[in-house]
Amino acid sequence: MEPGRPLRLLINGLSVGSGGGYTVARELWRHIAVARPAWQVTMALISGHTLHESIRRESAPSNCDLFWAAPEAADRRRRGSFEKTTLADHARKNFDAVLQLNGMIIPGLTLPTLVHHQDPWPYRSEAWNGWKDRVIAFLKRRANAYALKHADCMGWTSGYLRDLVCGDLAIQPKRSEVLYNGLPDDWLDRARSADVNDWAQRPMQLASVSNVNPYKRQDLVIRAMPALLKRPGLGQLKYHIAGHGEAGYLDQLRELARSLGVADAVIIEGRVSDERVTELVGSSRAFTLMSVCESFGIPAVEAMSLGTPVVTSDCCAMPEVCGKAADLVPVDDVNRLVETLAVALTDEAHARENVKLGLQRVQAFAWRDTAERMATVFEEITSPKR
């Protein structure tokens, strides 16, 4: 790259397949552009992909751009072929550096690359379901190993994820950076001002917001509901589940609630708007995320920013990210979950302490800070002196 010329950065978002991944891609795209207004920041997405098409409705700085792959790239194999040929050729001609969002690297693409790793799933067998998942996990680990050997820098959404992947693969990359996910500036401002709904005035409501699938353990909370509803003051408790899930699995959760006699107390909303997330979480007595596969856990941090006490699993990145601001529960321990949620939902002194700690904790996670650190990494790995 010529000294002094503004950098042209390609963010490869073709593999983004979940709401959380989309949020990370969108915010890095926006905030890197803000951090370096002279740069051209382009994100590659797939035309016709329902989630990716959402970006057309988003506001972005003027130095943001989009590169659209054909709809066929939604297929995993075709995407890999497209990346190694069309995308790689386009990148060599039009960009100076690449940000990979899926922990992998495009073979043969020699541009300076920051590989950002966000996914512990290939290393958490608890999240696998059958032999197909085992095969996919093996292939992803192999691709991760290639990236660790060839990337100019590996980015990690938590120290937990860095240690998990590097330890499993027994490979140390040439450079590693923990680059936490973040919250928008206006959310952080709101948390600083403590402009949140008063906990004591909220309805008796519990919320989960994330993708809905077995390893997120929404079923564990449903199993806790019969005991919770028998506790003093919790007879009217409603558990709201928001987030995308396969229709078959959502039906399984509904059937579980019916079989336990708590169907009227479990409300499965599906994928909802950002506005509904804010409304739901900001009006709940507690938020729970009992996942066994989190590299950061941004829904829990978002809940804290809304002044909502958090109850979460004691595994993966959750202890690192939440610190002392959340109640941690051993994985799959329904009895402990019942006890912990009962306190979070009814003990006002405990809840207010967690709200205070949560509003303070979220200030450690700002997209602008992560984007600034990423931009500095790109300046260093594209420097002719390196």
Structural domains of the chain sorted by starting position, each given as residue range(s) with its CATH number in brackets: 8-181+366-381 (3.40.50.2000), 185-364 (3.40.50.2000)
Beta strand extents in the chain (DSSP E only)? 8-12, 40-46, 64-69, 97-100, 113-117, 153-156, 176-178, 205-209, 238-242, 266-270, 286-289, 310-313, 326-329
CB atoms within 10 A of CB 88: 18
The one-digit pLDDT tens for each residue of the chain (386 residues) are 555 679 999 999 999 987 778 989 999 999 999 999 999 999 999 999 999 999 999 999 999 999 999 999 999 889 999 999 999 999 999 999 999 999 999 988 889 999 999 999 999 998 998 999 999 999 999 999 999 999 999 999 999 999 999 999 999 999 999 999 999 888 899 999 988 999 999 999 999 999 999 999 999 999 999 999 999 999 999 999 999 999 999 999 999 999 999 999 999 999 899 899 999 999 999 999 999 999 999 999 999 999 999 999 999 999 999 999 999 999 999 999 999 999 999 999 999 999 999 999 999 999 999 999 999 999 999 987 65
241-264: burial string, b at 16+ Cβ within 10 Å, e else: bbbbbeeeebeebeebbeebebee
Q: Any idea how long the chain is?
A: 386
Continuous segment of H or E residues that includes residue 354: helix 348-361
Entry pTM = 0.92
Amino acid at 231: R
Q: Return d(Cα 50, Cα 73) in angstroms, integer.
A: 13
Q: Strand, coil or helix: what is 311? A: strand
Q: Return d(Cα 220, Cα 350) in angstroms, integer.
A: 23
Compute the radius of gyration of the chain from its Cα atoms.
21
